[in-house]
Structures are given as structure tokens and as C-alpha cells.
A = this chain, B = another copy of it.
Amino acid sequence: MTESWVNSAERIGVDLHLELAGPGGRRAALTRALREAVRSGRLAPGTRLPPYRSLAADLGVARNTVADAYAELVAEGWLTARQGSGTRVATGMAHLGRPGKPEPRRAAVRTPVAAPPRARGPRHDLRQGSPDPSAFPRTAWSASYRRALQAAPSEAFGPGDPAGRWELREALAEYLARARGVRTEPGRIVVCSGFAHALRLLFGQGAGGVLRGPLGVEAYGLDFHRGLLATAGVRTVPLPLDEHGARVEALGRERAVLLTPAHQFPTGGPLHPERRAAVVDWARAQGAVVLEDDYDGEFRYDRRPVGALQGLDPERVIHLGSVSKSLSPALRLGWMVLPEHLVGPVIGAKGEREGWASALDQLALADFVRSGSYDRHVRRMRQRYRRRRDRLVAALAAQAPHVEVTGIAAGLHAVLRLPPGSERSVVKAAAWQGIALDGLGAFRHPETGMPPSDGLVIGYAAPAEHAYGAALDALCAVLPPE
């Protein structure tokens, strides 16, 4: 096989790669290669081709060879030539696979494995886990991004510090102290791409990981996190829950415990102050650490806000947060507030250079926080979600007053209690009606000794504002009668 390659001239706007192969002379090969490039769509309609001279130089062929090939393809209708605008790919013919003399093609790429994503999801999305995507503050974020990009020093576009941009770590230290009562300074913060990434950094890499199991977890929690930990070879030990949160007195020889102290996920409710103190005491006595998942610490409605557990002992508590609920899971930015002795190991686990979080996004978030846009957005969303929660409660009071709703003082979801044994059929009925939601059972640790409790976890953040009322009506319609 003879192979050769075409480079674009510097004067045209595209790079082009062709192969001159197969039977016949060079002119025939070039004609065939160009025709194939147009037919397959690799050369898009309207694309300007290189001038004869530069293509000829690139290919090491005579100028006339290129001119002849172009002329033949113009004659065939694949290309158009116009005075002053050079030779271009014809519009309207590309991708048509025009009949005539089809070239023998090399084995084509097989049929597509995935179609473009369809704009179809469930009719009503009441799953927990993400904020209202239509509420993303496009204008303010765009302004922060632009400002950050303009103000960035050149080194920001080079390899990144795995700890994260200092600008962001400073902004976060100030914000978390002010809004969440976190006690830290920028050198203790490591940027990551979200909560799951933080778990991977802490527990990944097997025996060489930063932390080791067994890890105490709440008896109800995200299945996704448990799966991630299981993959990393970390054994999780479920802690029972009651109305005061996780029963941390059940902790024994675990090496660490993962809690959602501000608002237990998914059952709701803050960890009782005595248990907050008790779990820190346990960690001190055992030489263990507490992982604080502050997943929706910013969204609280009725009760006094609960400060970060980390404030009780910055050397024993790892505080983990992200923008996934407060801004958007599309951004992939999170942070770990670390005890001093873990900063080095976590940075070591990240590697020599930043491999994950975009430095430009980090700078944009620093500006977004510093400029007050983050506070404004959180406050606006808090009002919006509170209204949604109130509408959920009102709809239930009106249409299903016998269904108890709990865990509503904070967060982006509520728990609806169901009669024993009914959860599965209600989830099924909901799916039948096009409602996406989760049963409480989906969050239950398989090894917990707690008796199963039937319920629904209703996320009220995801539906678009205009679609929320219909989603609530649909939900009430599938709830069991009294």
C-alpha cells in the first residue's frame, strides 16, 4: 500500500489528511481520495480547499496533477470553483453518496453504537440529587469566567497544582468559615471534581490509600457511594438511625465514619448536638477521622442553620463539599477541607499535576464566590426550593393528608412515609405514570439490622418551574389511599 498525506496550506482554515493509494496514477489517486473525503463528510460542504500550489507542495506532486483532480471533481459536481473564492466543497451534494461510479471503500466504521441523545426523559422527574438545571446563573457565571480568564496570570494555563488554584482555596476558606462555620485556611483545602472524586482520593489505590476501612456509614445513604467504596475494597459498616440522626455510639473499631450531619441523607434531620460531640470524641480516642458530607448544607429553611461539624475539631473531621447541589453538577468542582496530617497524602494521591479540575473553572468559581454571586445565587435558590417544598406539603395536605412527610427542614428532597409493604407497588405505579422517583429502600444498606421502612424520596428541585405543579398532581395520584 502506498501511503501519502496531504497537509493543508497555511492559508486555508482547515487541516486535511488524505491518502493517495490504490490503482492508477497519482492524479487518479488524489481524485479518488478527495471524492471519498467529500462523500464521507470529512470535508464538509462549503470547505475551501488548499490552492493548487500548496497542496502540490505538500504532496510532492506536480501542480497540474492537483489542478486536474480539482477540475474532474468540479465536473462531477463534488466541488465548485468560483473566481476569487477558490475551490470549495459543493453544498447540497455531500453525504448523498451520489450514484455513478462508487469507489471501493475500505471497511467502513460499523453502524453507530449510540444515537444522538434524545430530548426524552421521564414525564415527571422527582428524583433527588440535582438542582433545577434551568436555574443555572448563566449571566453571572459567564461574567465571572470572563473576568477570571482576563485576570489570570500566564502560569494558570500551564500544568496545575494538584492542591488546586490558590485563589479558589482562599475564596473557599473565607466562604466556608463565614457561611458554614468551618475552621480552616487555604493550605488545608484541596480542590477535586466532586464528592465521589474525594471518596476515591481518600480510599482509592487499595492498601496505599490515604484512609483505610472499615468505614462506618449511615444505614440509609447513597448506594452510589457504597458501590464506589466496595470497588475500592473498603468495607462499610452501617450505623442505625433514629430521630437524632446516626447512632454514633455504635461505632467501635472502624477507622473512619462518613456522616451527613447537617441533614441526614435521605431521611432528613440534623445530627443531635450530643452526637456531634460524641463522634468527635470517638474519633479522637480511636485515632479515626470523621468524613462530613455537607451535601446540602446551604439549603435550610425552618430551623436554625447547623454549622459544620468540622468546626468542633479540624484535626479529626474532613469536611467535603461541592457545587453540584448549589450551582450545577455539570461543573465538576468540589473541595476537601483536611486535617493537617492528611494534606500531603491527599495531594500525593492526586498526583504531581492537576489531572482533574479545570484551572479556569477554579478561577471562575473563585471570582463567583468573591464577587458575592455565589451567596446571591444560593439565597435565590433557597427561596425557590422553599416554595417548592411548601407546594409539596400543601399538595399532600390537600390530596393525600394521610401521608406523612418528613425531612423537610432542609435539602432538596423530602421523605413520604408509606404503609408497610406498599413501597414497591407505589414505585411501580409511579413508573407506569411516567414519574421517576426512588423508594426509600434503594438507599438502605444491605447489612443494616434496622427494620425496613417504606417510603418515597421525593426530589423537588429537578423539574422545571412550569412543570412542577403537574408533577405534584401526578405524584399524589399514585399515592395509596387511606
Which residues in A have some Cβ–Cβ distance to B below 8 Å? 1, 3-5, 7, 10, 13-19, 37, 40-44, 58, 60, 108-110, 112-117, 119, 129-130, 133-134, 136, 138, 141-142, 145-146, 149-150, 152-161, 163, 166, 170, 174, 177-181, 183-188, 193-194, 196-197, 205, 208, 224, 231, 273, 277, 298, 300, 304-307, 311, 314-315, 328-333, 340, 343-344, 351-361, 372, 375-376, 378-379, 383, 462, 464
Contact = CB atoms under 8 A, between A and B. Distances in A.
Contacts of A159: 129-130, 329-330
**Interface hub of A110, A196, A300 (most chain B Cβ within 10 A):** A110
B330 A15 contact: no
B178 A15 contact: yes
Given A142-B146, A157-B134, A159-B130, A42 B113 contact: no
Contact of A196 (B43, B109, B333, B355): B355
A108 B314 CA distance: 9
Contacts of A166: 116-117
A47 to B, nearest CB: 8
A304 B2 CA distance: 14
A314 B108 CA distance: 9
A310 B352 CA distance: 30
Contacts of A157: 133-134, 136, 328, 330
Contacts of A155: 119, 133
Given A156-B330, A185-B112, A42 B174 contact: yes
Given A15-B378, A133-B158, A330-B157, A340 B372 contact: no
24 contacts: A3-B307, A10-B379, A15-B178, A15-B378, A17-B178, A109-B185, A112-B185, A112-B186, A113-B188, A113-B344, A115-B187, A116-B186, A133-B157, A142-B149, A142-B150, A158-B330, A193-B193, A194-B355, A197-B355, A224-B351, A330-B359, A332-B355, A333-B358, A358-B358
A149 B156 contact: no
A205 B231 contact: yes
A464 B154 contact: yes
A379 B12 CA distance: 10
Contacts of A17: 177-181, 305, 307
Contact of A109 (B10, B42, B184, B383): B184
B177 A150 contact: no
Contacts of A356: 193, 197, 332, 356
A154 B119 CA distance: 11
A186 B16 CA distance: 19
Given A5-B181, A154-B464, 17 more contacts: A17-B177, A41-B177, A113-B340, A116-B170, A117-B161, A119-B153, A134-B154, A136-B154, A141-B149, A142-B146, A145-B145, A157-B330, A197-B355, A197-B356, A205-B231, A330-B358, A332-B356
A187 B113 contact: yes
A183 B330 contact: no
A160 to B, nearest CB: 6
A259 B15 CA distance: 23
Nearest to A115: B187
Contacts of A352: 224
A160 B330 contact: yes
A304 to B, nearest CB: 5
B329 A160 contact: yes
A104 to B, nearest CB: 15
Contacts of A40: 177
Contacts of A15: 178-179, 298, 305, 375, 378-379
B134 A174 contact: no
A196 B163 CA distance: 17
A178 B115 contact: no
Nearest to A1: B277
Given A166-B116, A307-B17, A178 B142 contact: no
Contacts of A58: 304
Given A156-B133, A187-B112, A179 B360 contact: no
A462 B158 contact: yes
A349 to B, nearest CB: 10
Nearest to A464: B154
Nearest to A136: B157
A479 to B, nearest CB: 26
Contacts of A379: 10, 15
A331 to B, nearest CB: 5
Nearest to A327: B157
